[in-house]
Amino acid sequence: MTRGIVPPGAVLGVLGSGQLGRMFTLAARRMGYRVHAFSPDEDTPTGQVADVEVTASWEDLDALRAFAGQVQVVTFEFENVPAAAVDAIEQLAPVRPGWLALHTAQQRTREKTFLADHGFPTVPFACAATLDELWAAVSRLRTPVVAKTAAYGYDGKGQHTIVTPADVEHVWDAIGHQDVVVEKLVELAAEISVVAARGVDGSVVEYPAFENRHRHHILDVTMAPAEVPDTIAARALAITRAILEVLDYVGVLCVEYFLTTDGQLAVNELAPRPHNSGHLTIDAATTSQFEQQVRAICGLPLGSTALVRPAAMANLLGDLWDAGEPNWAAACRFDDVKLHLYGKAGPRAGRKMGHLTALADSPAAARERVTAARDALLI
């Protein structure tokens, strides 16, 4: 066995059990690995395809140690894993990416401070832990601003816009008097993301920048490559590479960016795992982000990130089930569109149930094709 490599046939552990873990597991099993999943839930999207599904609390350190004793390396499919759980696992198996990356991305105050301390561009921001500090932040940044809860924020959850000083106390009550990051509201030309991977040996590969469009703060459609100036795309890739190096990262990382109307690029968030915007790589790239995750954590050489063709992905949310079962046949009549469903038990508004991917001659043409297929689900 080559030194440092976790070879096919080994058992990989994944913490979390959603759709990201499911797609990671499918990639790993195709490469000859076995996968054990750990989460507090059962019959999960990941557990349905994993070799073993361990259902236990994140606070059950004995269960975590038993899990770690059965695998050769552990990775994440979501970042809100308690520190004590990671500590328990690291005693028995390597965890990739490491604790620094996870700890940094778990909480917005730490994340923004990390970015600022290392000179990475962000929108103007301030951190607040009290009402007085929130007032001071709003006064310094000047309205309009966005207040984002420091912990457990995703898909727009915990975000409130402050337009006038009269909004400050209402927002403080709405967020439950907890730590908050206040950001200057800027005019956006686009939102883009860069998905990249860094191996055990320090090698790095990046996918082309993706362009993301949101609806109600939830990713709606991603196009690849992003239709932004080449200089902007190149800068986003360079910043992403630098973040990977500072974090001594091993695995797949997504960096989300704001591109302002005056041409400024700012880091919005870090995701220490594969990302929703990277799902199109399953069909559109030589190596998917999930295979890349397997390669990175197992010490294998990283794969090509080249896109086969321009592509677009459209999320399928639980809202599509409001009038009953979607018309899958109508969508599948688009014979060049790929359907991915996540095996979730029941739909609800805003819940990510699956996605569609289309390839075409241009990102815009792919977006038109994939959204038409999604619209057909409601026929």
- Mean per-residue pLDDT over the chain, rounded: 95
- 375 vs 132, 283, 320, 369, CA distance in Å? 48, 21, 9, 10
Alpha helices in the chain (DSSP H): 19-30, 61-68, 83-90, 99-106, 108-117, 131-141, 168-174, 230-246, 281-284, 289-297, 328-332, 363-376
Q: Quick: pLDDT tens for 89-132.
A: 999 999 999 999 999 999 999 999 999 999 999 999 999 999 99
Q: Is the pLDDT of residue 266 over 60?
A: yes
Work out the pLDDT band at 151, boundaries 50, 70, 90.
Answer: confident
- 101 vs 9, 65, 271, 278, 301, CA distance in Å? 28, 22, 9, 19, 21
Structure tokens at 133: 């500090």
Q: Is the pLDDT of residue 1 over 50?
A: no
Distance, in Å, from the CA atom of 175 to the CA atom of 158, rounded to the nearest integer, reads 7
Q: Is the pLDDT of residue 154 over 50?
A: yes
Q: Cβ(222)–Cβ(277) under 8 Å?
A: yes
Structure tokens at 263: 């041409």
Distance, in Å, from the CA atom of 296 to the CA atom of 246, rounded to the nearest integer, reads 17
Cβ count near 356 (within 10 Å):
29
Alpha helices in 129-207 (DSSP H): 131-141, 168-174
Q: Is the pLDDT of residue 257 over 90?
A: yes
- Prediction pTM value: 0.95
Distance, in Å, from the CA atom of 359 to the CA atom of 307, rounded to the nearest integer, reads 10
**What's the sign of the alpha-carbon dihedral 39, 42, 44, 50?**
positive
Torsion of the alpha carbons at 348, 349, 355 and 358, rounded to the nearest 10: 150
Distance, in Å, from the CA atom of 170 to the CA atom of 193, rounded to the nearest integer, reads 32
- CA contacts within 13 A on the Cβ side of 277: 30
Distance, in Å, from the CA atom of 279 to the CA atom of 332, rounded to the nearest integer, reads 18
Q: Is the pLDDT of residue 182 over 90?
A: yes
Q: What is the DSSP letter of 151?
A: B
Domains defined for the chain, CATH in brackets: 11-95 (3.40.50.20), 124-184 (3.30.1490.20), 188-376 (3.30.470.20)
Q: Is the pLDDT of residue 376 over 50?
A: yes
